[in-house]
Structure 1
Amino acid sequence: MARAFLSSGDLIADRRASYADMLFESGDHVAAADLMRQALEIVPEWTAGLFRLGEMEDAAGDEDAAAETWRRLLELDPDDRFGATLKLAASGYALVPDNPPAAYVETLFDAYAPTFETALLEKLHYRVPELLANAIKAAAPGRRYHSMLDVGCGTGLMGDYFRTGVDHMAGMDLSEAMLQKAEEKHVYDRLFKGDINELDYPAGSADLIIAADVFVYVGDLDKAVSRLVAALSNDGLFAFSVETHAEEGELILQPSLRYTHSEDYVRRLLADHGLVPSTIDREAIRFDRGEPLQGLIVVSKRA
């Protein structure tokens, strides 16, 4: 993500940062951090450079220096487009926030949009859309839906699975760049920008709501699910995925800066919001560093 904002506006600083990146990729993290500090001496308020420096210091084993760098970054960028708050929390220097900064999620996916589908489908063997579509169809065989809401729709990977079985399909995302990619597919009847925690959607109007691989960037799901359930019709289905974990604790911020949710958390969440699961399946949802990443595929309805 940092590379999306790489240029400092100073040619010499950019060149030193580029060399620092090469050193980092070669495994010489200490030298990389030293050279990045030299670049930042020229442009001390370069936020992307500060974020990259923090990553280099952390990889070099200097966690205290990395934390100080991320605190400096937050002073310069209080909206926290780079996720310094999450970096501090994941490193044990701050409390884990209930939710990530919205600006961080938006920035991340704006930068990710051009390569999103290639990276997920071809490199990471991403399976969530297929798994969710199969689970929904198994929960209600042959059902036709009047109105579907795809929250966190991204580039529209879910859309193709339901276009022929839905009268009206809406997609929402926090990233404008992702929405532009979804628009190119001409699958959705409506696309709009929004934050899932601030969703304002007609009450009871959607008989199918899907959140595919969204909740890893939401954290505490109580507020988001409350708003989604308000939009769900009495006979509607709410389907979603989460990444999950085997450790103790219901909600964990991982080093990847994604949140994982336990099955106990998911079951309690559904019960708290008047929902019952039709199915909760543990599946390998994609690969991460060559290893299958475990998730939960959930289809629920009103109790």
Structure 2
Amino acid sequence: MPQNQLSSGDVLTDRRADYARMLAESGDPGAAAELMEQALEQAPNWVSGWFRLGEYREKAGNRDGAIEAYRKVLGFGGDDIFGAHLKLVLLGAEAVPDEPARHYVERLFDDYAERFDKALVERLEYSVPKQVASLLEREAPDCRFACTVDLGCGTGLFGVEIRSRTMRLEGFDLSTRMLAKAAQKQVYEHLGRADLSLPTEASGLFGETLARHRADLVGATDVLNYLGNLSGVFTLVEALLADGGLFAFSVEDAGGGDGFHLGEAMRFAHSESYVRSLCAGHRLQVAATERAVLRKDGGNAVQGILFLAAKGS
């Protein structure tokens, strides 16, 4: 029976793995990998242990060994909650997937929910919700919205920024723990779980009380960078927006070209031309763009693009 949990289930094996982690943190990933290999001899079905071995081998410059470990993770089956497939993409061993690693993203944000606001805003200088709200204020200062749909709402940071300008505010996210944190802010009339990678009717965005074309504003702040191929998301946005409605969103900037790529941080970056082509194909006219620093990552500024687009009739 494969074990996804962080513990191997054996005290001595866990202790050896802890020593491996300390070696890696002290700058000796090669020794960490050797110790982790010994731990896995005692717990050969420990999925997260194999993933950690892949990371140590990767940091030690052992590409082939890292690929072997990540393939071992995938070989156990299951939902790939650790993102082993994305690791293989970055190592050049797999093609960029059309479908996002939804289980990895869900686990990532479930684990991050309790410390998300403090860690991201204070430590990483994250301000995308505020920047997107400022773009709206600048480009559509007189607009008040009957219904705003916040896609990938997370803990509700964009909801707080837009609350004073909307009568009804709905938030949707893949992570139930993020939704619980958003509920504590008490700014949403409706919160629900949704998967933006699924087809329209299966996404969770529509139902008996959630009609099509109900929104005159859709926001997506710092969510599209976890999806890669955005054609399905733009189909959802087209179905959500009423004619004349606005779509305000951010992407990480891929620079030139006309597509998207997976970055070292396991997030996707999208080119401006790629996003513009999707807008044109989904009745959205780009009204404004703005280059911006989205956050810090490893001490470096993450460059992005803010978009405001309007749906034609």
Alignment of 1:92-111 (within 5 A): 92-111=92-111
Q: Deviations over 1:129-181 (max 9, x none)?
A: 11100111222112211111001000000111121221111100000111111
The 5-angstrom pairing of residues 1-303 of structure 1 reads: 5-198=5-198, 199=203, 200-201=205-206, 202-246=211-255, 248=257, 250-303=259-312
TM-score between both structures, scaled by the size of structure 1: 0.96
Q: In structure 2, what residue type is equivalent to 1:106?
A: E
Q: Is the 8 A contact 2:255 2:272 kept in 1?
A: no
User: Does the aligned pair in 1 maintain the 2:293–2:303 contact within 8 Å?
Assistant: yes
- SS of equivalent to 2:168: strand
* Pairwise CA distance, 1:40: 1.0
Question: Unaligned stretches of 5+ in structure 2?
Answer: none
Q: 1:249 to 1:271 in 2, by over 3 A?
A: closer
Aligned counterparts of 2:22 and 2:258: Cα–Cα separation in 1:
38
- Is the Cα contact below 8 Å between 2:99 and 2:197 reproduced in 1? no
SS of 2:197's equivalent in the other structure is helix
Q: CA deviation at 1:247?
A: 5.2
Q: 1:67 to 1:249 in 2, by over 3 A?
A: farther
**Distance in 2 between residues matched to 1:247 and 1:19, nearest whole Å:** 44
Structure 1 residue ranges, 4+ long, deviating more than 4 angstroms after superposition:
none
Q: Do the aligned partners of 1:86 and 1:100 also contact (CA within 8 Å) in 2?
A: no
Deviations 1:7-32 (A, max 9, x none): 12111111111110100011101100
Structure 1 CA distance, aligned partners of 2:256 and 2:143?
A: 38
| Most deviating of 247-256 and 155-164 | 247-256
C-alpha contact 1:173 1:193 (8 A) present in aligned 2: yes
Name the amino acid aligned to 1:267: R
Deviation at 1:121, TM superposition (A): 0.6
Shift of 1:77: 3.6
Q: Structure 1 CA distance, aligned partners of 2:60 and 2:280? A: 45
SS of residue paired to 2:188: coil
Q: Does structure 2 retain, via aligned residues, the 8 Å contact 1:250–1:261?
A: yes
- 1:193 Cα offset (Å): 0.6
Runs of at least 5 residues in structure 1 that lack an aligned partner in the other structure: none
Shift of 1:5: 4.1
Separation in structure 1 between the aligned mates of residue 277 and residue 108 of structure 2, nearest angstrom: 30
Q: Percent identity?
A: 44
Cα distance in structure 2, aligned partners of 1:61 and 1:7: 26
Q: Deviations over 1:104-129 (max 9, x none)?
A: 11011111111111111111100101
Q: Distance in 2 between matches of 1:10 and 1:124?
A: 36
In angstroms, what is the RMSD of aligned CA positions?
1.3
Distance of 1:211 and 1:167 partners within structure 2: 18
Equivalents in 1 of 2:266, 2:258: separation in Å? 16
Q: Distance in 2 between matches of 1:135 and 1:122?
A: 22
The 3-state SS of whatever aligns with 1:196 is coil
Question: Cα–Cα, structure 1 residues 272 and 178, in superposed 2: closer, same or farther, change >3 Å?
Answer: same
- Residue by residue over 1:68-119, the C-alpha shift from the partner in whole angstroms, topping out at 9 and shown as x without a partner, is 1111101214311111111101110011112322111101111111111111
Q: C-alpha distance in 1, partners of 2:162/2:236? A: 23
Matched position secondary structure for 2:130: helix
Distance of 2:295 and 2:106 partners within structure 1: 22
